[in-house]
Amino acid sequence: MDLQIEGRHVGVTSEWRADIESRVADLYPGQDMTHVRVTLTKQAHQKADDSYDALIVVHIPGHTLTARKQEDSFEEAIREAFAAMKIELDKVREKRASHDIRITAPPERGIVTKIFRDEGYGFIAMDDGLEVYFHRNAVHELAFDDLQDGMEVSLNVEPGEKGPQATTVNPLPAVSHYAKKGSTT
């Protein structure tokens, strides 16, 4: 892991550096951080309050996280910025750890029975008699306006707020019919 500590309008003391290195080590249990940059800035204005700024930028695969705090002292700004960074890292790590593997069922077949073009939705009858709602945004590989009553489609069905709904609706590929050799059609 690459760690950079820098000061703007201020020299970084050995105490601040040691505190930052210790706090970075506390953030690092997952061994996923590739780069950390901490910038301490003394604001150039004359106002005494909120003139000490700590900015932390952490790179982990797929994410760049930042935390910035302005406080009455660098010690406070460092402590608060690292507390905020820990919360953000915990959120990302928790989200990564909780990813469930979704197994997608093969598409089902149905027949378009009702289309409400002006409202942008319709219904598909399944083989078991179930009627499934679909929205125009679920239609793929075909324009919603090109759907026709009686058209056979493939669809993925999930529970919706008011019953089953199609998450994807696709036209079935055209089937070529070949005449058997020697037959007359």
Q: Hey, where are the domains in the chain?
A: 2-97, 108-171
Cα–Cα distance measured from residue 118 to residue 88, given in angstroms and rounded to the nearest whole number: 44
Q: Is the pLDDT of residue 179 over 60?
A: no
- Give the mean model confidence (pLDDT) for residues 46-58: 78
Q: For residue 167, what are the contacts with CB-CB under 8 A and spacing of at least 6?
A: 138, 155, 156, 157, 158
> How large a percentage of the chain has pLDDT more than 70?
84
Taking a C-beta distance cutoff of 8 angstroms, is the pair 83, 95 a contact?
no
pLDDT band at 91 (very low <50, low <70, confident <90, very high): confident
pLDDT at position 174: 66
pLDDT band at 84 (very low <50, low <70, confident <90, very high): very high
pLDDT at position 69: 93
Cα–Cα distance measured from residue 152 to residue 149, given in angstroms and rounded to the nearest whole number: 9
Cα–Cα distance measured from residue 183 to residue 74, given in angstroms and rounded to the nearest whole number: 91
Taking a C-beta distance cutoff of 8 angstroms, is the pair 74, 40 a contact?
yes
pLDDT at position 62: 79
Q: Is the pLDDT of residue 182 over 60?
A: no
CATH of domain 108-171: 2.40.50.140
- 101-148: pLDDT as tens digits: 566 667 889 999 999 999 999 999 998 888 999 999 999 988 999 999
Cα–Cα distance measured from residue 126 to residue 137, given in angstroms and rounded to the nearest whole number: 20
Q: Is the pLDDT of residue 49 over 80?
A: no
- Under CATH, what is the fold of the domain 2-97? Double Stranded RNA Binding Domain (3.30.160)
